[in-house]
Amino acid sequence: MKHRPLGSTGLTVSELGFGCGMVGGILVRGEYPAMRRVVSRAVELGINYFDSAPLYGDGQSEVNLGAVLRELRADALVGTKLHLGAGDLQRVEAVVVESVDQSLRRLGRGHIDLIQLHNPLGTPGPAGWAPMTAKDLAAVTRAFQSLQGQGKIRFWGITALGLTEVLHQAVAAGGLHTIQVVYNLLNPSAGRSVPPDFPFQDYRQLMARAAERAIGVIVIRVLAGGALAGTTERHPTAAPAVAPIGSGQAYEADVARARTFAFLRDGGVVRSPVEAAIRFALSRPEVSTALVGISDLEQLEHAVESANRGPLPADALARIQDAQARFARG
């Protein structure tokens, strides 16, 4: 597994990061021995970045990840998140400190390598979450700086979901180490310009703006929550239903649109739709790591093999761009 720099942090992260969320689900719904096996194999294969959040399994993902990494004595980088509730904006610093302390306890670690704001910016998140403005983000950043001074966290970032304009303001304001951004075969707008009538949210090349400021880019939704694997069937460990982020109205619509890229396998460029999706994300030099949600060992092995085949060739990327442009015309 190749490693890339994580922005200006001085850390290097594996090209494939391990998503410990609900969608793949192994760290939330798996049996402990299965989790241990998958995480152990991930470390053996060179994965050194694990992404969790208090939201995932209501803290269970952090508990499980911490336990497995301790048992394995693995030298891994751990990222987690925090979210602010609707009533928390009057006491941002206290809420950030409480949340980080709780995550440290659940993870059983002395520090968090990367803490990220989970709330989207400019739009409400899940029920009960605070709608965050750029000003609120500044208060969160001040709290992060103070926690860094105490050695509880090393670096911080945001989830780049919400209103595109506010996301660009947040990146332009500086003071962030990372962003988690949607970039995949269905919606490449965070990486390059798309036609004005492109049917999905236009992130207006947010990755390039981040890279200009040496902000590390962590890609999410590499497989569109699983839709880019090309089937509506869900793994028993995976989230039973997935709401699209930055792509179609429904998961089934994303699965149907994913067939657009069958030419990559038919033409022998890739061996599977999953490989196409992972190599597409890794074809951007701005990307530090591409997170993939993992349900079992087989998915992990396949994802790693795919990443190790490297970026897609230029002619395949050009054909993909043509196919994506046709989305705009319906």
Question: C-beta of 299: minimal distance to ligand NAP in Å?
Answer: 4
Residue (68 or 224) nearer to ligand NAP, CB: 224
Distance CA 171, CA 116 (A): 14
Residues 6+ apart with CB under 8 A from 14: 1, 2, 3, 46, 47, 48, 49, 289
Task: Give the nearest residue (CB) to ligand NAP.
Answer: 19
HEC assignment per residue over 14-42: ECEEEECCCCCCHHHHCCHHHHHHHHHHH
Count, residues in the chain:
330
How far from the centroid of its chain's Cα atoms is residue 204's Cα?
18
Residue 82: name the closest of 94, 58, 99, 97 by CA: 99
Q: Are strands 16-19 and 12-14 parallel, antiparallel or unpaired?
A: unpaired
CB nearer to ligand NAP: give 122 or 293.
293
Closer by beta carbon to ligand NAP, 184 or else 205:
184
Q: Which residues pair with 114 in a beta bridge?
A: 79, 155
Cβ-based nearer residue to ligand NAP, 79 or 286: 79
CB atoms inside a 10 Å sphere around CB 231: 10
Report the first-to-last Cα separation within the chain, whole angstroms. 38
CB of 149 to ligand NAP, least distance (A): 25
No. of H helices and E strands in the chain? 12, 10
Nearest approach, Cβ of residue 65 and ligand NAP (Å): 10
When the beta carbons of 22 and 104 are compared against ligand NAP, the nearer one is 22
Helix ranges (DSSP H) in 89-233: 92-107, 134-149, 164-173, 206-212
CB of 194 to ligand NAP, least distance (A): 19
In the complex, minimum distance from the CB of residue 329 to ligand NAP, in angstroms, rounded to a whole number: 26
With respect to ligand NAP, which residue has the nearer C-beta, 104 or 222? 222
Nearer to ligand NAP, 150 or 232 (CB): 232
Least CB distance to ligand NAP at residue 272 (A): 7
Residues that bind ligand NAP (CB under 6 A): 19-21, 23-24, 51, 118, 159, 161, 180, 220-226, 229, 234-235, 238, 274, 291-293, 295, 299, 302-303
| Other beta carbons within 10 Å of 110 | 8
Least spacing, CB of residue 185 vs ligand NAP, in Å: 11
